[in-house]
Structure 1
Amino acid sequence: MSSELDDIMLAILKGIQSDVGSIKREITSLDARMSSMEDHMRGLMTSVYSMQADMSDLKRRVDRIEGRLGLLDPEEA
């Protein structure tokens, strides 16, 4: 009886060990995907900040041109 119980416990532990190994591989995969998404997000944020700076520069230039041409509304001046 003890031998049968040992065999059952061994089979259960092997199943658990297999499941834990599978979970570890999945977590490693998810870790890599998350890291990739973080890198992509950093790139997107850099692009957004760059576009905001470009838009701000263009707005200043347009404002200066409008001022030189006298195209500003009285309330904007």
Structure 2
Amino acid sequence: MTSDRCNFSLDNTEALATTIGLYALGEISLGKAAARTDVTRWEMMEFLSEEGVAVRLGPQSMQDLESEVETALNID
């Protein structure tokens, strides 16, 4: 699949590989992975898909869910 995203330099390619690894291990979220590599979430989802990494959407644990609910309840 052809993408409009920019070509990455070696440093950026290494950062992308590290970020994909962290995401695959569950260490960071999709949003954090996208922010680390300065791409959109949709672009990050494409990168992950190309590398065979399943995209996780929504909370991954009861603790994550409780944290999201707490954050939502505290919004003014």
TM-score (norm. length: structure 1): 0.25
Higher helix proportion (structure 1 or 2): 1
Larger RCO, structure (CA 8 Å, separation 6 or more): 2
TM-score (norm. length: structure 2): 0.26
Larger-gyration structure (1/2): 1
